[in-house]
Amino acid sequence: MTNPLYDRLFAPHEGKEAVFLRLSDGNTISYASFLENAGRIANTLVSEGAGPGDRVAVHVNKSPDALALYAACIMAGIVFLPLNTAYTPAELDYFVKDSQAAIFVCDPGEAEELEPIARAAGARLLTLASDGSGTLTERAAGQPAEFQKVDRGDDDLAALLYTSGTTGRSKGAMLTQRNLLSNAEALIDAWRFTSDDVLLHALPIFHSHGLFVATNVMLLAGGSMIFLPKFDAETVLAQLPNATAMMGVPTFYTRLLDEPRFSRDLVAHIRVFISGSAPLLAETHDRFAERTGHRILERYGMTETSMNTSNPYDGDRRAGTVGFPLPGVEVKVCDPETGSELAPGEIGVLWVRGPNVFKGYWRMPEKTREELREDGFFITGDLSLIDDRGYVHIVGRGKDLIISGGYNIYPKEIELFLDRQPGVKESAVVGAPHPDFGESVVAVLVPEAGETIDLDAIETVARRELAGFKRPRRFEIVAELPRNTMGKVQKNTLRERFAGAFLVTQS
Ligand code: MCA
Ligand code: AMP
């Protein structure tokens, strides 16, 4: 029997450090006890009726048990579906229904509110708190730690990760065993991870970055992780001397640079700092190098493809670029209209092909056909160029997308929400540069004739319905939206007009 991902990531093998997770309270969790816990959880999921190919939707805080739940799903051939902890019940309703999840695991504190959502979707509700309490672990305590791994092939689904879309409707990216394993293998080589590494892990584990890039790489390398509940500059400063590597979104690095105690001495033990999920400003790269002597290694990926390109470990890490395609991954820059390949230096849309590219969007064959071509190339929607030295530069986005602190926000979803609010005739949402989050959300509203928009009321409803990171941080009321002759809203004009919305002017 084979289960490639389980065999490579979880099955005990030589070289695995005794310690897998180091927690901020000083406790540690060994690989062996982590896997026993995962085995108990796998038995529990099966006894609750989940089988190979079924989805388990997970909306819980980051914890060792939450990670064991991921391992349990892989062992049992169950499709792991992690959900951003910031999602509101209104948002969760869609994911649980659309995925037809068999089990929905949430925090005990939200069980009462989410129970009707689980029931309507036909999913069983189990709970798991960050301190390890909840019905999932209660039931797991009565289960054996031994679990007979389930047979899986390369093309079987391992995870379903939702990414929002330009239409405002989220799409479930189907990731196979091969997708995840091939990427972990490519990254471990590219970044030289070994069982001696200790990764400072402060990312959330409901996205590709914290779950697959960081965790799968460490599982494969057999190293250990300083597993922090979230990014908190104080804790990170205290833990950096114990780590050999850190992965983060650019906000992590700008926040560290804001700390006067963040110094060369503090990171003397670190081998590599890696950044991704959003553009790292060349200025941040340079300031970081000056302060610490480390050139941040920037890489580029997407939920649908995991990682595509990376700056070299040895060699020139060039600020403002995302480096070269990973081994086994092909990239090309194509004309957005004709799809023909462009010459080096020309700007077009980046296409990607390789074992990392997902299987398609869950129950969306048409959307899949639009973006994933028959020849295997995935159309990323990112505007890019390849320079004369072969480095890929992401120069913009062909898709209407805002990235705030590493989280993606599709304006259409926020516009649909705003257009439903009383007194709003229409709206346009754009991103503006933000000193902490890189970009943040500006909502431009046009009132109905003779009406006044109640912004406080809109903020109240937004708090209830939208995840916090998606909420507009600035509202602007205008008489009309700028449009071109075809009647299309000119977002570039709005972006320019509100570019200074979050920037403090120096006097
Ligand atoms: C939290 N808030 C945010 C964000 N995060 N607002 C805008 N953008 C954000 N990213 C808001 C909350 O709603 C709340 O608002 C207030 O900030 C404080 O919340 P808190 O949770 O304390 O915030 P924080 O701890 O300061 O979080 C900021 C963060 C976090 C550390 C940058 O967002 C983070 O860990 N981001 C990483 C995202 C990530 O892993 N992305 C990978 C995607 P209020 O006070 O109004 O309620 S995977 C991907 O993109 C691909 C595959 C790739 O290439 O990696
Ligand atoms: P997600 O949908 O959350 O997987 O986000 C993927 C998107 O994040 C990509 O399509 C890019 O637009 C962006 N992204 C990821 N890494 C980088 C990077 N290093 N530089 C610029 N954009 C990036």
Q: Is it the case that residue 73 has pLDDT exceeding 50? A: yes
Hey, whose CA ends up nearest to atom 45 of ligand 1?
Answer: 468
Is the pTM higher than 0.75? The answer reads: yes
| Cβ neighbourhood burial of 12 (10 Å; 0-12, 13-18, 19+) | exposed
Write the pLDDT tens digit of every residue in 148-191.
Answer: 999 999 999 999 999 987 777 899 999 999 999 999 999 999 99
38, HSE (Cβ side, Cα atoms, 13 Å)? 27
- Domain parsing of the chain, residue ranges: 4-18+32-153, 198-353+378-400, 402-497
Hey, whose CA ends up nearest to atom 50 of ligand 1?
Answer: 277
Average pLDDT of the segment spanning 46-65: 98
Q: How many Å lie between the centroid of ligand 1 and the Cα of residue 143?
A: 36
Q: What is the pLDDT of the chain when averaged over all its residues? A: 96
**CATH for 198-353+378-400?**
3.40.50.12780
Write the pLDDT tens digit of every residue in 452-475.
Answer: 999 999 999 999 999 999 999 999
Which is it for the CA torsion 314, 316, 322, 326, positive or negative?
A: negative
Q: Which two tokens stand for residue 506?
A: 């120096």
pLDDT on residue 151: 96
Same fold, 198-353+378-400 and 402-497: no
* Beta pairing partners, 22: 28, 226
Residue with tokens 């505007």: 383
Average pLDDT of the segment spanning 471-481: 97
Cβ neighbours of 315 (radius 10 Å): 9
- Coil/strand/helix, residue 175: strand
Average pLDDT of the segment spanning 346-374: 97
Question: What is the position in ligand 2's atom list of the atom closest to the CA of 397?
Answer: 12
- Give domain 402-497's CATH number out of 3.40.250.10, 1.10.150.80, 3.90.650.10, 3.30.300.30: 3.30.300.30
Q: Is it the case that residue 364 has pLDDT exceeding 90? A: yes
What's the N-to-C CA distance of the chain in angstroms? 68
Write the pLDDT tens digit of every residue in 269-287.
Answer: 999 999 999 999 999 999 9
Percent of the chain with pLDDT over 90: 94
Ligand 1 binding pocket includes 209 (Cβ within 6 Å) = yes
Split at pLDDT 50, 70, 90, the class of 507 is very low
- For residue 406, the 8-state DSSP code is T
DSSP string, 436-467: TTEEEEEEEEEEPTT----HHHHHHHHHHHS-
Q: How many Å lie between the centroid of ligand 1 and the Cα of residue 106?
A: 20
Hey, whose CA ends up nearest to atom 21 of ligand 2?
Answer: 279
In CATH, the architecture of 4-18+32-153 is 3-Layer(aba) Sandwich (3.40)
pLDDT on residue 168: 74
pLDDT on residue 376: 97
Write the pLDDT tens digit of every residue in 22-36.
Answer: 998 999 999 999 999
- Coil/strand/helix, residue 476: strand
Write the pLDDT tens digit of every residue in 185-241.
Answer: 999 999 999 999 999 999 999 999 999 999 999 999 999 999 999 999 999 999 999
Cβ atoms 21, 28 nearer than 8 A: yes
Cβ neighbours of 188 (radius 10 Å): 19
Write the pLDDT tens digit of every residue in 393-406.
Answer: 999 988 889 999 99
Strand order in the sheet with 157-163: 124-127, 103-106, 55-59, 79-82, 157-163, 171-176, 360-361
Average pLDDT of the segment spanning 349-354: 98
Report the pocket of ligand 2 as residue ranges, CB < 6 Å: 163, 208, 276-279, 298, 300-303, 322, 380, 382, 394, 397, 403, 408
The length of the chain in residues reads 507
Distance CA 32, CA 39 (A): 10
pLDDT on residue 399: 85
DSSP string, 252-313: HHHHHHT-TT--TTTTTT--EEEE-SSPPPHHHHHHHHHHHSPPPEEEEEETTTEEEEE--S
pLDDT on residue 17: 63
